[in-house]
Structure 1
């Protein structure tokens, strides 16, 4: 359905034929019920203060924040992997260069610590 500026369209669901009057009606619905100032303009509503959670969400939505967060996460994961590699070097396995998963490294470390405690107790 095409609307032309010189031809009113009565098929609109709200019964308006003029787009400007529709916009004016929508603007009027957004104006507060407060009294108007002397020149006929209505006073603008003060923006609602944002909650702490809303401020946090908006801050986290920025590209700068996401980029910094991704960088921090990469550094954290790298440090985590370095720590596992160091722990892996301390554990005796055959063959010594055998690739172990993180859970295998942790389980082997638990067993090795238990063994060392047993040796110390004897």
Structure 2
């Protein structure tokens, strides 16, 4: 049913002229929706906003940086161990991580070929 701008339908909340009735209707509808958490000023905050605020703290950043350093050290140790297992000439030649991976692929392929023969 279409209404012209000057017509109002009394059962629709936006058609009501009484401001208090409109607020009561909206409050009743909002009661069925989950409430968002609010900060001290009464502003609604989403889960994403709370996550951003937590990640912005110095304590969180410091802990994250520590975890990242530990991860990178473990990553580099794994590459160093792999490097020791690969034959190259000269043996102490410095290789990049991608070169280590490519050489490991070739070496594994070679070893499979040797086992198949």
In the TM superposition, 1:1-122 aligns within 5 A as: 47-122=42-117
TM-score by length of 2: 0.63
Runs of 4+ in 1 over 4 A off after TM superposition: none
Counterpart CA distance in 2 for 1:46 and 1:93 is 66
Counterpart CA distance in 2 for 1:60 and 1:98 is 42
Matching residue of 1:18: none
Counterpart CA distance in 1 for 2:105 and 2:42 is 58
Which structure 2 segments of 5+ residues have no match?
A: 1-39
Which structure 1 segments of 5+ residues have no match?
A: 1-44
The structure having more radius of gyration, on CA atoms, is 1
Counterpart CA distance in 2 for 1:65 and 1:89 is 37
Counterpart CA distance in 1 for 2:116 and 2:55 is 53
Residues matched between the structures, number: 79
TM-score by length of 1: 0.61
Q: Deviations over 1:24-61 (max 9, x none)?
A: xxxxxxxxxxxxxxxxxxxxx97134211101000000
Aligned CA RMSD, in angstroms, stands at 1.9
Structure with bigger helix share is 2
